[in-house]
Chain A
Amino acid sequence: MKELIQVKNLSKTFSLSAKQQKIEGTREKRKTAVKGLSFTAYEGEIFGLLGPNGAGKTTTLRMLATLIRPDSGDAIIDGSSVLSDAEEVRKKIAFLTTDLKLEGFFTPNYLFDFFSELYHVPKETIKERKEMLFRTFGIDKFAEVKVANLSTGMKQKVSLSISLVHWPNVIIFDEPTNGLDVLTAKVVTDFLLELKNQGKTVIVSTHIFSLIEKVCDRVGVIINGEMAVCDSLKQVQAGMALEDRFFEIYKESVGDTDE
């Protein structure tokens, strides 16, 4: 199997403003969100990043998507380095996270065309792909409604389909089912499996155990910015329910540290 995504020793430290220090309940001026994180995702698999709030999942994925630069380490995505070849990486991936908003003034239809043009997708392909994605997520009914007037779940569906305008081989989704009801969440998880069937490589981050159990081939558990365990789902579970196993892992790794 081809190692499509290689993450090597990624680290990221943020400097905290006074306000952020208060929120974090710390007097430290700096916060290391990701510490020497490494993992590999193989072509055609769904890789899950599991971790509690603040573990560093979003920060890791933002580095993979070239939105922020790692302080040290590198990641190679389908042969391109996030450090030296950011533009190439951006062409090869789809990235979805709650921080990426769509302009409320425009309709899903307009935005789909706009982003397709930015990726230089040919005109006929745009039309076909839009029909397919809008049908999958039921967006056709509100394709001409301004995004500002859509519900959270509808917005998430639109963001999802727009992140795929260029139909890339690597798909990086941060909490793709967040804020969705069970029906819509199922549409999304089914869609992730469909992407896998089409040979795409998918990385999802989540703190929802059932999502990992349903779709992931392999999983990495992040705690406090470090990779606690990273293996196939079966190996990580070790015959237990993922949730129970997670608490064990959590205890082990937090026990490991100075607390």
Chain B
Amino acid sequence: MNNSVLTIMKKELARFFGDKKVVFSTILLPGLMIFILYSFMGSAITSQYTVEEDYKAGCYIKNLPDDDTLQMMLNENFSFHTVSSDEEIKQAKKKLQQKETDLCVVFPENFMENIAEVFPVTSNALPPEVQIFYNSSETASETAYQTMSGILNEFEGILSNRFDINKSDGVAYDLAKKEDMVGSIFSSMLPMLLLIFLFSGTLAVTPESIAGEKERGTIATLLVTPVKRSHIAIGKILALSIIALLSGASSTVGTILSLPKLMAGAGELDGAVYSVTDYLLLALVILSTVLVLVTALSLISAYAKSIKEAQTFATPLMILLMLVGITAMFGTGAKEELYYYCIPAYNSVQSMVRIFQFDVTTNTILVTVASNIVVTFAGMFVLTKMFQSERIIG
């Protein structure tokens, strides 16, 4: 690579990495914050909708049948009190309403004797009825209700065993692939998140490096040297891309590590379902996206008179990128037509959707990367012209 480009890059990187506070806040902090935030949100959501595992629901039971199997099954899941009077049941229901207990079950008297008789569906006589009282506004009670119905159904099955459902071990009855779930969640969320992370990484360094140098009058010092304006443009864009990439990588790692916790309710989420090739292609798409973002923000920063102005000008771009990112959540999968992959940012989102849905095609990736590189070169050319213009720099 050209000597001057390298010298410019080295200086940009030295400027960035020489400042420990800036390194911490742009590279380490985003990943850490996202990890902590998502993990926290994940466990908050989980604890709201699930009951602790070793929790045994409280339960009042009247006329508990004298059957060992049933009692064993109940013992496993409930800590229950047996009661004998209607008055006690009344009290139990009150407790249930006040969420002080989880369940209240009333068996008919002489339950075991009565169920010995078989009641065909066609007969008019009704079989004995078990009543389960519960409180659906309390998760624990709702869960206890489900468990109790399950146990009683199972018990009914044991009593008159005509057939079983899904009983044999070692057979995979659920044919949904793990990949499908991971694919649909990753492909709807990650493209937008990645786009935003990369953009914020870029926004943290680019205005400072270009508008900041203009504002402080240090770029003019560079411009009286014989260095080609194009080399300044290339050197800056490459160095800023490296930093933005690191910042984006940190956020991405934070997200991927915490996503399983965030989505705990949805089952197992594991990034390991993707192959090395998938990750390499993703890296390629991200790399070319960063170049486009850095170039766009460089142009904005060169046009702006100060860092603040550059950041203000960048806000509409941020909103636009979010909207483009959101398109990944709707619609039916990625677009097929190749020309969609020529539109910067949109092509990145579409390519990422394809990668996460195990649907990569060489053409779409090629077109995406190629058009991003073309856009970057065009941007570098414009930036060079801007560095030559005295209205911008003078």
Could you list which residues of chain A lie within 8 angstroms of chain B, going by C-beta atoms? 65-69, 87-88, 90-91, 95, 99-106, 110, 114-115, 117-120
A67 touching B394 in the complex, CB below 8 Å, given contacts A118-B4, A119-B226, A120-B3: yes
Interchain CB contact under 8 A, B7 and A67: no
Interchain CB contact under 8 A, B220 and A67: yes
A100 touching B19 in the complex, CB below 8 Å, given contacts A114-B7, A117-B3: no
**How far apart sit A100 and B216, CA to CA, in the bound complex (Å)?**
9
Residues of A with C-beta under 8 A to B222: 118
CB distance from B271 to the nearest CB of A (A): 38
**How far apart sit A119 and B222, CA to CA, in the bound complex (Å)?**
11
A-facing mask of B8-24, CB < 8 A → 1, else 0? Answer: 10010011001100000
Interchain CB contact under 8 A, A99 and B217: yes
Determine if B1 is an interface residue (Cβ-Cβ < 8 Å).
Answer: no
**How far apart sit A69 and B388, CA to CA, in the bound complex (Å)?**
10
Interchain CB contact under 8 A, A103 and B218: yes
Residues of B with C-beta under 8 A to A90: 224-226
Interchain CB contact under 8 A, A87 and B228: yes
Q: Can you list 29 residue pairs at the A/B interface with Cβ under 8 Å?
A: A67-B223, A67-B393, A68-B390, A69-B390, A87-B226, A87-B228, A90-B224, A90-B225, A95-B224, A99-B217, A99-B220, A100-B217, A100-B220, A101-B216, A101-B217, A101-B218, A101-B220, A101-B221, A102-B221, A103-B15, A103-B216, A103-B218, A104-B216, A106-B11, A114-B11, A117-B3, A118-B8, A118-B225, A118-B226
CB distance from B373 to the nearest CB of A (A): 27
Residues of B with C-beta under 8 A to A87: 226, 228
**How far apart sit A114 and B393, CA to CA, in the bound complex (Å)?**
21
Determine if B374 is an interface residue (Cβ-Cβ < 8 Å).
Answer: no
- The residue in A68, A99, A106, A117 that gathers the most chain B C-beta atoms within 10 A of its C-beta is A117
- The residue in B18, B213, B217, B228 that gathers the most chain A C-beta atoms within 10 A of its C-beta is B217
Residues of B with C-beta under 8 A to A100: 217, 220-221, 224
Residues of A with C-beta under 8 A to B390: 67-69
Residues of A with C-beta under 8 A to B8: 118
- The list of the 9 closest CB pairs from A to B, nearest first, reads A101-B217, A90-B226, A100-B221, A91-B226, A117-B7, A68-B390, A118-B225, A95-B224, A103-B218
| CB closest residue in chain A, given B8 | A118
Q: How many residues of B contact A (CB 8 A)?
A: 25
Q: 13 additional contacts, CB 8 Å, given A69-B390, A118-B226?
A: A67-B390, A87-B226, A90-B225, A91-B226, A100-B217, A100-B224, A101-B217, A102-B218, A104-B216, A105-B15, A105-B19, A106-B15, A118-B8
**How far apart sit A139 and B26, CA to CA, in the bound complex (Å)?**
34
Residues of A with C-beta under 8 A to B216: 101, 103-104
CB distance from A65 to the nearest CB of B (A): 5
CB distance from B305 to the nearest CB of A (A): 11
Residues of B with C-beta under 8 A to A66: 224
CB distance from A97 to the nearest CB of B (A): 9
A-facing mask of B198-234, CB < 8 A → 1, else 0? Answer: 0000000000000001001110111111111000000
Interchain CB contact under 8 A, B394 and A68: yes
Residues of A with C-beta under 8 A to B15: 103, 105-106
- The residue in A66, A95, A105 that gathers the most chain B C-beta atoms within 10 A of its C-beta is A105
**How far apart sit A69 and B390, CA to CA, in the bound complex (Å)?**
8
Partner of B225, one of A102, A106, A115: A115
Interchain CB contact under 8 A, A118 and B7: yes
Residues of A with C-beta under 8 A to B19: 105
**How far apart sit A118 and B5, CA to CA, in the bound complex (Å)?**
9
Residues of A with C-beta under 8 A to B228: 87
Residues of A with C-beta under 8 A to B4: 117-118
| CB closest residue in chain B, given A163 | B224
Residues of A with C-beta under 8 A to B217: 99-101
**How far apart sit A103 and B221, CA to CA, in the bound complex (Å)?**
9
Name the interface residues of B117-148: CB closer than 8 Å to any CB of A.
Answer: none
**How far apart sit A68 and B394, CA to CA, in the bound complex (Å)?**
6
| CB closest residue in chain B, given A88 | B226
Residues of A with C-beta under 8 A to B224: 65-67, 90, 95, 100
CB distance from B136 to the nearest CB of A (A): 63
**How far apart sit A120 and B220, CA to CA, in the bound complex (Å)?**
19
**How far apart sit A151 and B21, CA to CA, in the bound complex (Å)?**
25
A-facing mask of B315-349, CB < 8 A → 1, else 0? Answer: 00000000000000000000000000000000000
Name the interface residues of B7-48: CB closer than 8 Å to any CB of A.
Answer: 7-8, 11, 14-15, 18-19
A-facing mask of B270-288, CB < 8 A → 1, else 0? Answer: 0000000000000000000
**How far apart sit A27 and B309, CA to CA, in the bound complex (Å)?**
28
A-facing mask of B225-254, CB < 8 A → 1, else 0? Answer: 111100000000000000000000000000
Residues of B with C-beta under 8 A to A114: 7, 11
**How far apart sit A119 and B4, CA to CA, in the bound complex (Å)?**
9
CB distance from B116 to the nearest CB of A (A): 90
CB distance from A117 to the nearest CB of B (A): 5
CB distance from A122 to the nearest CB of B (A): 12
- The residue in B7, B8, B217, B221 that gathers the most chain A C-beta atoms within 10 A of its C-beta is B221
CB distance from A83 to the nearest CB of B (A): 13
Residues of A with C-beta under 8 A to B18: 105
| CB closest residue in chain B, given A69 | B390
Residues of B with C-beta under 8 A to A106: 11, 14-15
CB distance from B25 to the nearest CB of A (A): 16
